[in-house]
Chain A
Amino acid sequence: MRAMWKGSLSFGLVNIPVRLFSATESRTLKFRHLHAPCHTPLEYQKVCSTCKKEVPWEEIARGYEYEKDHFVVLSEEEIKSAAGEKERLIEITDFVNIEEIDPIFFQNSYYLAPDGPGSRPYALLREAMLESGKIAVATITLRTKESMATVRTFGDALALSTMFFPDEVRSVQELPDIPHGVEIREKELTMAKQLIENLAAPFQPEKYHDNYRAKVIELIQARVEGKEVAVAPSPQKEKVIDLLEALQASVEKAQGKGKGRGKDKTAKTSPRKEKVSAKK
């Protein structure tokens, strides 16, 4: 694993140099956009519509749109100095019980590993947290965002999860159609609770798999190995052209049989042919 950044973890007067790693990776299959006739991966160019040219990275600036089409342009240095010295710091402020934090607050997860001489204080912190059963709440500055985060033991390591600020979690009040004060009958509740009991089991994440991904991988594998992939032909789509032709044929047939009719109705129909439109 490659570290994302190096900084320090602090609480009280203790400072532990650490490295930060991403704890998760998405296994979602990634597809690239190709030019269909030649299968070349597409390139995306950054283009300025005013100067009408492709823009090299040196000419790219970052701006905040405070009003439509009005920007405040900030350079990297300006942002760094505003963010302050905390840039590489995970500052622990409290220790709490994990049950007190609802999972809705969790954003992304990272692993912390000691950097160099940090090994001993790292192990100490880990053991202390394990025995006290508490987790740490900290503030962390990652890139340009300051976040709340938790630090907790995870296996042999310490895991850090960034959290949403309370004002970033939307209020449940905003949801439509949430029932309030609905009368629940005793028997129904008992039955529902029974259903929950029946399905109660210890959490075993290994039980769950991405079946969709597995099937697509199978398809890709077969293709790579050069096997023919059987694709079920889609059912015949009913076409109105067929109906119109059938109608025409029936009418003409009936006219051909036109014996015993009072008037002699020679066909003066206006047949709708696909290629040629017959003039009357």
Chain B
Amino acid sequence: MFEEKISPMEPQSRANLKEGDEDYSFQVKWDGIRILAFVDGEKLRLQGRSLINKTSNYPELAVLPELVKGKRIILDGEIIALQENRPSFYAVMQRERTGSAGISRIRSLIPVFYMVFDLLFFDDSWVMNKQWSARQEMLEKYLKENDHVRLTPSFEDGEILLDTVRKKKMEGIVAKKKNSPYVQGPRKSSYWYKTKIEQTIEAYVGGISLKNTNPASLLLGMKEEGSEGEIGKIRYIGSVSSGLKTKELGAWYNWALENSLSASPFANAPLHPGRKLLYVKPVRKVEVTFNEWTPDIKLRAPRLTSRSEQLIHL
């Protein structure tokens, strides 16, 4: 049981909530790193989607065996990090990438939380065949919570939850069929479905890409927590042109010419084959909406919001 490699259950995607949702309960979708936790007595093993052992990345969870009172248990949940009071994928990715060498430093800068939402094994038996609602009851009964380990709450009204999550600028919600077993991934199961909300972030403009001599897109970057690198370096996360009117792009270009940098302010190199890049001091921010983060920490389908015009110099 302890060494078993399990693929976590994956929800299908839906743009909107289903009709007849009495069959479902709704939970917040946590924007973080999916982790299964295996506890056997004092032993703990954390496994990610890639089935790789991630135990040393998250020392905050070392206390899990105590929280389950030494029972043999497999938990399913999401590890998140908070920024501005909501889960930030960007922040938790920095934890995910930090190995045992840097962990003691970064864990005080970016603490993580384990949001538990399912149970696969308990005591001496697999409980994957039990109904979701029964598994939730077992979790409530046997998992003790602490500052870093919490049970994900479930709600009956999906519309209200979705609305609340939208207002709080969180990732989305997941609907879970009350009478359903736990089905391993990676194939998406119809028993769970996720409804995502468009996400919004603020990012620094670190440069402009040029097509021939015309400005084409803004190069975006974000600061890295506790980075050892040179002061002022930001991490490149993508470029945006959608939502920019030609006139605005021109205004950015003129400003960039006056505030240009000879050296790139980005810690990693923007990939724009065939384009010339004009770098600027990362002092101005824009607000962008996007669908999700790519596996290599770039924005997927970013668009500038109208609020960008109002963002001022820092």
Residue positions of A touching B, CB distance < 8 A: 237-244, 246-248, 250-251, 254-255, 258, 261, 265, 267-272, 274, 277
* Chain A nearest Cβ from B293, distance in angstroms: 20
In the assembled complex, which residues on chain B have CB atoms less than 8 Å from the CB atom of A239? Answer: 82, 147
A240 x B113 contact (CB < 8 A): yes
State which of A243, A248, A265, A274 has its C-beta within 8 Å of the C-beta of B157.
Answer: A265
Distance in angstroms between the alpha carbons of A268 and B113 in the assembled complex:
26
Distance in angstroms between the alpha carbons of A248 and B153 in the assembled complex:
9
Which bucket holds chain B's interface residue count? 20 to 34
B150 x A244 contact (CB < 8 A): yes
Please name the 6 residue pairs, one residue from A and one from B, whose CB atoms are nearest each other, closest first.
A240-B113, A238-B82, A268-B156, A250-B164, A272-B153, A254-B160
Between B145, B156, B157, the greatest number of chain A beta carbons within 10 A of the residue's beta carbon is seen for: B157
B167 x A250 contact (CB < 8 A): yes
A274 x B145 contact (CB < 8 A): yes
Which residue of A has the minimal Cβ distance to B148? A240
B150 x A272 contact (CB < 8 A): yes
In the assembled complex, which residues on chain A have CB atoms less than 8 Å from the CB atom of B85? Answer: 238, 242-243, 246
Distance in angstroms between the alpha carbons of A251 and B161 in the assembled complex:
6
In the assembled complex, which residues on chain A have CB atoms less than 8 Å from the CB atom of B168? Answer: 246-247, 250
* Chain B nearest Cβ from A55, distance in angstroms: 33
Which residue of A has the minimal Cβ distance to B156? A268
Q: Is B80 an interface residue (CB 8 A)?
A: yes
Q: Mark B144-166, 1 if CB is under 8 A from A, else 0.
A: 01011011011111011101110
- Tally A-B pairs: CB < 8 A: 67
Distance in angstroms between the alpha carbons of A251 and B160 in the assembled complex:
6
In the assembled complex, which residues on chain A have CB atoms less than 8 Å from the CB atom of B160? Answer: 251, 254-255, 258, 265
Which residue of A has the minimal Cβ distance to B81? A238
Q: Is B309 an interface residue (CB 8 A)?
A: no
In the assembled complex, which residues on chain B have CB atoms less than 8 Å from the CB atom of A251? Answer: 155, 157, 160-161, 164
Q: Can you report 5 A-B residue pairs in the complex whose CB atoms are below 8 A from each other?
A: A241-B147, A244-B153, A251-B157, A268-B156, A272-B150
Q: Is B111 an interface residue (CB 8 A)?
A: yes
In the assembled complex, which residues on chain A have CB atoms less than 8 Å from the CB atom of B82? Answer: 238-240, 243
* Chain B nearest Cβ from A227, distance in angstroms: 28
Q: Is B61 an interface residue (CB 8 A)?
A: no
State which of B150, B156, B159, B164 has its C-beta within 8 Å of the C-beta of A267.
Answer: B156
A269 x B86 contact (CB < 8 A): no
In the assembled complex, which residues on chain A have CB atoms less than 8 Å from the CB atom of B154? Answer: 269-270
Which residue of B has the minimal Cβ distance to A238? B82
In the assembled complex, which residues on chain A have CB atoms less than 8 Å from the CB atom of B167? Answer: 250
A237 x B111 contact (CB < 8 A): yes
Distance in angstroms between the alpha carbons of A268 and B164 in the assembled complex:
16
Distance in angstroms between the alpha carbons of A242 and B82 in the assembled complex:
11
Which residue of A has the minimal Cβ distance to B113? A240
State which of A240, A242, A247, A269 has its C-beta within 8 Å of the C-beta of B156.
Answer: A269
Q: Is B115 an interface residue (CB 8 A)?
A: yes
Considering the complex, which residues of chain B in the window 243-293 have a beta carbon less than 8 Å from any beta carbon of chain A?
none
Distance in angstroms between the alpha carbons of A265 and B25 in the assembled complex:
13
B150 x A241 contact (CB < 8 A): yes
Q: Is B140 an interface residue (CB 8 A)?
A: yes
Q: Is B28 an interface residue (CB 8 A)?
A: yes
A277 x B147 contact (CB < 8 A): no
B115 x A240 contact (CB < 8 A): yes
In the assembled complex, which residues on chain A have CB atoms less than 8 Å from the CB atom of B111? Answer: 237
* Chain A nearest Cβ from B115, distance in angstroms: 7
In the assembled complex, which residues on chain B have CB atoms less than 8 Å from the CB atom of A243? Answer: 82, 85-87
In the assembled complex, which residues on chain A have CB atoms less than 8 Å from the CB atom of B140? Answer: 270, 277
Distance in angstroms between the alpha carbons of A261 and B159 in the assembled complex:
10
In the assembled complex, which residues on chain A have CB atoms less than 8 Å from the CB atom of B87? Answer: 243
Distance in angstroms between the alpha carbons of A270 and B115 in the assembled complex:
15
* Chain A nearest Cβ from B182, distance in angstroms: 19
